[in-house]
Amino acid sequence: MKVLVTGVKGQLGHDVVDELTKRQHEAVGVDIEEMDITDLASVEKTIKDVNPDAVVHCAAWTAVDAAEDCVDKVRMVNAAGTEHVAKLCRELDIKMMYISTDYVFSGTGTNFWEPDDLDRQPLNVYGQTKYEGEIAIENLLDKYFIVRIAWVFGVNGKNFIKTMLNLGKNHDKLTVVCDQIGSPTYTYDLARLLADMIETDKYGRYHATNEGICSWYEFACEIFRQAAAMGRSEYDPEHLTVEPVTADHYPSKAKRPSNSRMSKEKLTENGFERLPSWQDAVARYLKEIEF
């Protein structure tokens, strides 16, 4: 199978290309230099030249706070750009996978969001434009996967784990938000699941994160616990204290969801193997990076 992967320079796109290649698929990774998704002509030329059997659309504007100051630009990338890709997938009758986000939901309450919940009420520009991308796909295509992910970390790029490790080196006390709940997602694990999915025709909306839920505070504590267990004493409790605080201690331009619990039962129902626990993912990830 030949698969076009957008956003290949990002954490996830990089790992998806690697996983597809391991499976002997022909993976063609593109970024803005090869295909500007905001330009329909560029999308048409690239996709027709590649002539893939499927597209995995990872490219997106993901700078959440910056998005609040440039709504039109973000909408061109996340909504119009996605619509452009979907139009070509429809024209060529090829399957499309769209990587979406927990931010399409309002983030209220404590229940787990279901993949097919239609009451999507994004809190910020990033979430709203990713939601508009979902709508474009649903309106244009039948052969699509919408896969919502959250709290992503991978080797190829910036993420929460790298930020915490860097801060922990230079501070003896950190405060981390404790009232936003979700599930971390390791791109290496996620890429394997996405490859499993794109090899099938079990279309629809899905949620895909590592198993288990935590707060950002609990996530940080586990990162430091495991780093200390690897012999890095600067991260142990004698050298570094981590205290929980509520989100209002860190005012931001974009409002964040407090509840990003997402149900993954649909993966099981369709025969897909769910990802390992987020704690297990952190352990494997720390062995992959230099810190």
Number of other residues whose CB lies within 10 A of the CB of residue 156: 15
- pLDDT cut 90: percent of the chain above it: 96
**Known catalytic residue at 126:** yes
Helix (H) or strand (E) holding 118: none
- CA dist 125 and 123 (Å) reads 7
pLDDT score, position 268:
98
Range 63-85 burial, b when 16+ CB lie within 10 A, else e? ebeebbeeeeebbbbbbbbbbbb
- CA dist 231 and 93 (Å) reads 53
pLDDT score, position 258:
96
What 3-state class would DSSP assign to 200? coil
Average of per-residue pLDDT across 175-180? 97
What 3-state class would DSSP assign to 124? coil
β-strands 185-186, 152-153 pairing: parallel
| Start-to-end C-alpha separation, the chain | 37
3-state SS track over 150-198: CCEECCCCCCHHHHHHHHHHHCCEEEEECCCEECCEEHHHHHHHHHHHH
pLDDT tens digits, 222-270: 999 999 999 999 999 999 999 999 999 988 999 999 999 999 999 999 9
Average of per-residue pLDDT across 20-29? 98
Number of other residues whose CB lies within 10 A of the CB of residue 249: 12
pLDDT score, position 7:
97
Q: Looking at 126, 131, 206, 235, which residue is catalytic?
A: 126
For residue 284, CA distances in Å to 150, 186, 243 come to 18, 9, 25
